[in-house]
Protein backbone atom coordinates (compact mmCIF):
# COMPACT_ATOMS: atom_id res chain seq x y z
CA UNK A 1 0.00 0.00 0.00
CA UNK A 2 1.38 3.46 -0.88
CA UNK A 3 2.25 6.04 1.77
CA UNK A 4 -0.34 8.41 0.22
CA UNK A 5 -3.06 5.75 0.50
CA UNK A 6 -2.24 5.14 4.19
CA UNK A 7 -2.40 8.89 4.89
CA UNK A 8 -5.79 9.10 3.11
CA UNK A 9 -7.13 6.22 5.22
CA UNK A 10 -5.91 7.94 8.42
CA UNK A 11 -7.70 11.12 7.29
CA UNK A 12 -10.93 9.20 6.69
CA UNK A 13 -10.80 7.56 10.13
CA UNK A 14 -10.04 10.84 11.92
CA UNK A 15 -12.69 12.71 9.88
CA UNK A 16 -15.38 10.20 10.82
CA UNK A 17 -14.27 10.35 14.48
CA UNK A 18 -14.37 14.15 14.49
CA UNK A 19 -17.99 14.14 13.30
CA UNK A 20 -19.07 11.87 16.16
CA UNK A 21 -16.95 13.88 18.63
CA UNK A 22 -18.78 17.09 17.59
CA UNK A 23 -22.08 15.33 18.23
CA UNK A 24 -20.87 14.17 21.69
CA UNK A 25 -19.71 17.71 22.52
CA UNK A 26 -23.09 19.23 21.63
CA UNK A 27 -24.83 16.64 23.82
CA UNK A 28 -22.45 17.26 26.75
CA UNK A 29 -23.00 21.02 26.54
CA UNK A 30 -26.78 20.58 26.29
CA UNK A 31 -26.59 18.50 29.49
CA UNK A 32 -24.40 21.13 31.23
CA UNK A 33 -21.74 18.47 31.62
CA UNK A 34 -18.01 19.19 31.93
CA UNK A 35 -15.96 16.42 30.31
CA UNK A 36 -12.25 15.73 30.78
CA UNK A 37 -10.17 13.30 28.69
CA UNK A 38 -7.41 12.01 31.00
CA UNK A 39 -4.25 10.74 29.31
CA UNK A 40 -0.91 9.27 30.35
CA UNK A 41 1.57 6.42 30.06
CA UNK A 42 0.49 3.13 31.64
CA UNK A 43 0.89 3.30 35.41
CA UNK A 44 1.18 7.07 35.81
CA UNK A 45 -1.64 7.03 38.36
CA UNK A 46 -4.77 8.06 36.44
CA UNK A 47 -7.12 5.68 38.28
CA UNK A 48 -5.71 6.49 41.73
CA UNK A 49 -6.20 10.19 40.95
CA UNK A 50 -9.75 9.59 39.68
CA UNK A 51 -10.80 7.57 42.73
CA UNK A 52 -9.80 10.49 44.96
CA UNK A 53 -11.09 13.28 42.72
CA UNK A 54 -14.43 11.63 41.95
CA UNK A 55 -15.02 10.84 45.65
CA UNK A 56 -14.42 14.48 46.57
CA UNK A 57 -16.22 16.17 43.66
CA UNK A 58 -19.37 14.02 43.92
CA UNK A 59 -20.16 15.70 47.25
CA UNK A 60 -21.31 18.81 45.34
CA UNK A 61 -22.37 17.58 41.87
CA UNK A 62 -22.97 14.38 39.84
CA UNK A 63 -19.78 12.65 38.71
CA UNK A 64 -19.33 9.75 36.29
CA UNK A 65 -16.36 7.94 34.79
CA UNK A 66 -15.70 6.10 31.52
CA UNK A 67 -12.69 3.77 31.80
CA UNK A 68 -10.69 2.69 28.75
CA UNK A 69 -8.36 -0.32 28.77
CA UNK A 70 -7.30 -2.96 26.29
CA UNK A 71 -8.54 -5.63 28.71
CA UNK A 72 -9.94 -6.05 32.26
CA UNK A 73 -12.57 -4.09 34.18
CA UNK A 74 -10.36 -3.51 37.26
CA UNK A 75 -10.39 0.25 36.89
CA UNK A 76 -14.17 0.64 36.62
CA UNK A 77 -14.50 -1.61 39.70
CA UNK A 78 -12.10 0.65 41.64
CA UNK A 79 -14.19 3.70 40.70
CA UNK A 80 -17.51 2.01 41.54
CA UNK A 81 -16.10 0.94 44.93
CA UNK A 82 -15.84 4.68 45.66
CA UNK A 83 -19.57 5.05 44.99
CA UNK A 84 -19.16 6.66 41.56
CA UNK A 85 -20.89 5.28 38.42
CA UNK A 86 -18.36 3.94 35.91
CA UNK A 87 -18.53 2.22 32.53
CA UNK A 88 -15.61 0.09 31.37
CA UNK A 89 -14.73 0.12 27.65
CA UNK A 90 -12.33 -2.61 26.49
CA UNK A 91 -10.56 -1.69 23.26
CA UNK A 92 -9.17 -5.21 22.58
CA UNK A 93 -6.35 -4.70 20.06
CA UNK A 94 -7.10 -0.96 19.99
CA UNK A 95 -4.66 1.62 21.35
CA UNK A 96 -7.08 4.50 22.08
CA UNK A 97 -10.70 5.38 22.80
CA UNK A 98 -12.70 6.90 19.95
CA UNK A 99 -15.74 9.17 19.94
CA UNK A 100 -18.20 6.40 19.04
CA UNK A 101 -17.11 4.33 22.08
CA UNK A 102 -17.69 7.39 24.30
CA UNK A 103 -21.13 8.07 22.79
CA UNK A 104 -22.17 4.47 23.50
CA UNK A 105 -20.73 4.41 27.04
CA UNK A 106 -22.29 7.78 27.92
CA UNK A 107 -25.77 6.43 27.14
CA UNK A 108 -25.19 3.66 29.70
CA UNK A 109 -24.35 6.10 32.54
CA UNK A 110 -27.04 7.58 34.82
CA UNK A 111 -27.94 11.27 34.14
CA UNK A 112 -25.04 13.56 35.11
CA UNK A 113 -26.63 16.94 34.28
CA UNK A 114 -24.67 19.82 35.79
CA UNK A 115 -21.83 17.51 36.72
CA UNK A 116 -18.50 16.13 35.55
CA UNK A 117 -17.60 13.19 33.33
CA UNK A 118 -14.03 11.91 33.50
CA UNK A 119 -12.83 9.76 30.61
CA UNK A 120 -9.75 7.73 31.51
CA UNK A 121 -8.16 6.90 28.18
CA UNK A 122 -6.01 3.83 27.44
CA UNK A 123 -2.50 4.26 28.91
CA UNK A 124 -0.61 5.46 25.86
CA UNK A 125 1.28 8.72 25.30
CA UNK A 126 0.88 8.62 21.51
CA UNK A 127 -2.29 7.45 19.76
CA UNK A 128 -5.02 8.98 21.97
CA UNK A 129 -3.65 12.48 21.23
CA UNK A 130 -5.15 12.38 17.73
CA UNK A 131 -8.69 11.41 18.77
CA UNK A 132 -11.19 14.06 19.86
CA UNK A 133 -13.85 12.43 22.07
CA UNK A 134 -15.99 15.56 22.48
CA UNK A 135 -14.29 16.52 25.77
CA UNK A 136 -13.95 20.08 27.10
CA UNK A 137 -10.20 19.50 27.26
CA UNK A 138 -7.46 16.91 27.53
CA UNK A 139 -5.45 16.55 30.75
CA UNK A 140 -2.10 14.75 30.57
CA UNK A 141 -0.72 13.09 33.68
CA UNK A 142 3.06 12.65 33.94
CA UNK A 143 4.58 10.79 36.89
CA UNK A 144 8.01 11.89 38.06
CA UNK A 145 9.31 8.32 37.79
CA UNK A 146 9.04 8.65 33.98
CA UNK A 147 11.74 11.32 33.63
CA UNK A 148 11.79 14.93 32.43
CA UNK A 149 12.13 14.35 28.69
CA UNK A 150 8.66 12.96 27.91
CA UNK A 151 7.10 16.23 26.63
CA UNK A 152 9.84 16.48 23.99
CA UNK A 153 9.74 12.78 23.08
CA UNK A 154 5.92 12.58 22.86
CA UNK A 155 5.13 16.17 21.81
CA UNK A 156 1.68 15.57 20.26
CA UNK A 157 0.18 14.55 23.59
CA UNK A 158 1.50 17.60 25.44
CA UNK A 159 0.56 19.92 22.57
CA UNK A 160 -3.02 18.60 22.65
CA UNK A 161 -3.47 18.96 26.45
CA UNK A 162 -4.68 22.04 28.35
CA UNK A 163 -3.26 20.87 31.68
CA UNK A 164 -0.25 18.79 32.69
CA UNK A 165 -0.62 17.17 36.12
CA UNK A 166 2.76 16.05 37.45
CA UNK A 167 2.03 13.10 39.75
CA UNK A 168 3.90 11.03 42.36
CA UNK A 169 5.59 14.11 43.88
CA UNK A 170 5.75 12.18 47.17
CA UNK A 171 8.65 10.24 45.56
CA UNK A 172 10.59 13.43 44.73
CA UNK A 173 13.06 13.18 47.66
CA UNK A 174 14.20 9.79 46.30
CA UNK A 175 14.59 10.67 42.63
CA UNK A 176 16.62 13.26 40.77
CA UNK A 177 13.62 14.79 39.03
CA UNK A 178 13.93 18.35 37.70
CA UNK A 179 10.47 19.99 37.82
CA UNK A 180 11.66 23.22 36.17
CA UNK A 181 13.15 21.39 33.21
CA UNK A 182 9.99 19.28 32.74
CA UNK A 183 7.74 22.35 32.73
CA UNK A 184 10.10 24.14 30.34
CA UNK A 185 9.99 21.15 27.95
CA UNK A 186 6.18 20.99 28.12
CA UNK A 187 5.89 24.73 27.38
CA UNK A 188 8.31 24.36 24.47
CA UNK A 189 5.74 22.14 22.69
CA UNK A 190 2.70 23.95 24.18
CA UNK A 191 3.30 27.50 25.52
CA UNK A 192 -0.25 27.64 26.95
CA UNK A 193 -0.21 24.41 28.95
CA UNK A 194 -1.10 24.83 32.63
CA UNK A 195 0.76 22.79 35.25
CA UNK A 196 -0.21 21.34 38.62
CA UNK A 197 1.87 19.17 40.99
CA UNK A 198 0.12 16.41 42.93
CA UNK A 199 0.48 13.13 44.72
CA UNK A 200 -2.58 11.03 44.00
CA UNK A 201 -1.36 8.64 46.71
CA UNK A 202 -1.06 11.15 49.58
CA UNK A 203 -3.56 13.74 48.29
CA UNK A 204 -0.98 16.56 48.23
CA UNK A 205 -1.86 19.24 45.66
CA UNK A 206 -5.36 17.94 44.90
CA UNK A 207 -7.03 21.06 46.35
CA UNK A 208 -5.47 23.10 43.55
CA UNK A 209 -6.73 20.57 41.00
CA UNK A 210 -10.30 20.81 42.35
CA UNK A 211 -10.06 24.63 42.19
CA UNK A 212 -8.86 24.36 38.58
CA UNK A 213 -11.83 22.10 37.74
CA UNK A 214 -14.25 24.55 39.43
CA UNK A 215 -12.86 27.39 37.31
CA UNK A 216 -13.31 25.30 34.14
CA UNK A 217 -16.91 24.52 35.17
CA UNK A 218 -17.63 28.20 35.77
CA UNK A 219 -16.14 29.20 32.40
CA UNK A 220 -18.08 26.51 30.54
CA UNK A 221 -21.37 27.56 32.17
CA UNK A 222 -20.69 31.19 31.24
CA UNK A 223 -19.88 30.22 27.64
CA UNK A 224 -23.06 28.13 27.31
CA UNK A 225 -25.20 30.97 28.76
CA UNK A 226 -23.66 33.40 26.26
CA UNK A 227 -24.72 31.08 23.42
CA UNK A 228 -28.30 30.72 24.70
Instruction: Tell me which residues touch its own copies (CB under 8 A).
Output: 1, 6, 9, 12-13, 16, 41-43, 69-72, 74, 93, 95, 122-127, 130, 143, 145-147, 149-150, 152-156, 168, 171, 174
Compute the distance between CA of residue 14 and CA of residue 209 in angstroms, rounded to an integer: 31
Q: In what order do the strands lie in the sheet with 63-69?
A: 86-90, 63-69, 116-120, 34-39, 137-143, 163-167, 194-197
Of 6 and 81, CB closest to its own copies: 6
In this complex, which beta carbon is closest to its own copies, that of residue 155 or of residue 205? Answer: 155
Q: Is 218 exposed, middle or buried (0-12, 13-18, 19+ CB in 10 A)?
A: exposed
CA distance 62 to 223: 20
Q: Residue 21 or 34: which CB sits closer to its own copies?
A: 21
Residue 205 and residue 199 in contact, taking contact as beta carbons nearer than 8 Å: yes
Please identify, using beta-carbon distances, which residue of 3 and 228 lies nearer to its own copies: 3
Query: What minimum distance in Å lies between the beta carbon of 86 and its own copies?
Result: 15
Minimum CB separation of residue 92 from its own copies in Å reads 9
CB of 116 to its own copies, least distance (A): 24
φ and ψ of 53, to 5 deg: -65, -45
Spatial distance between the Cα atoms of 23 and 104, rounded to a whole number of angstroms: 12
Query: Closest separation between CB of residue 126 and its own copies, Å?
Result: 4
To the nearest whole angstrom, how small is the minimum distance from the Cβ of residue 72 to its own copies? 5
Amino acid sequence: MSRERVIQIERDILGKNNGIAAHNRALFLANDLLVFNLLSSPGAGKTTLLVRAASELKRTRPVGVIEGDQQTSHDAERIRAAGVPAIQVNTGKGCHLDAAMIGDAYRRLPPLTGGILFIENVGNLICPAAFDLGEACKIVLLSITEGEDKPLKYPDMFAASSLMVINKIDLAPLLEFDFGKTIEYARRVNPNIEVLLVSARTGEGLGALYAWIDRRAWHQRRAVEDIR
